[in-house]
Amino acid sequence: MKQSLLTPQLRSPSFIDDVALIVTGPSEKANSKAWERAARKAWSWGADNVIVFDNPKTELMHFHNKPTQYTSNTPVTLPNGTVIDPAQHLRWLEVWLDRKLTFNYHVQQKTAAATKALKIFSRLSNSGWGLSAPL
């Protein structure tokens, strides 16, 4: 069967306890509906294999390449009725993702963490009892 650009496509990369359902398609609304169908299948498979998905850890993001940040923010409904609203940023496998995949938010988060660590080491090396700084 030939794949159409108008039909959402589904991929599901998984790592230990991190599972992603990635849907690509012509619109957020079509993608959300396709994601809901895929989620029903995943929840059914989980029930058959005694696996429970953690609702509070479920996140949604609509990636796009539109020139503005505007998207319709179409939510999805999980098979148990929980509604998931799209996030502006989400972390997957220690990488912060944003809607346009610019990674600006990721760089901000990592820079803030590095600055905090540097300040801690600086305080330790400047005290009379801590680490001595090389001359």
**What's CA 99's distance to the chain center, in Å?**
10
pLDDT at 2: 45
State pLDDT tens for residues 97-135. Answer: 888 888 999 999 999 999 999 988 887 776 566 556 666
State pLDDT tens for residues 18-61. Answer: 677 788 888 888 888 988 988 888 888 888 888 778 777 788 88
Q: What is the mean pLDDT of residues 76-91?
A: 88
pLDDT at 55: 75
pLDDT at 112: 96
pLDDT at 115: 94
Task: Give the global pTM.
Answer: 0.61
User: Residue 11 is which amino acid?
Assistant: R
Give φ, ψ of 67 to 5 degrees: -70, -15
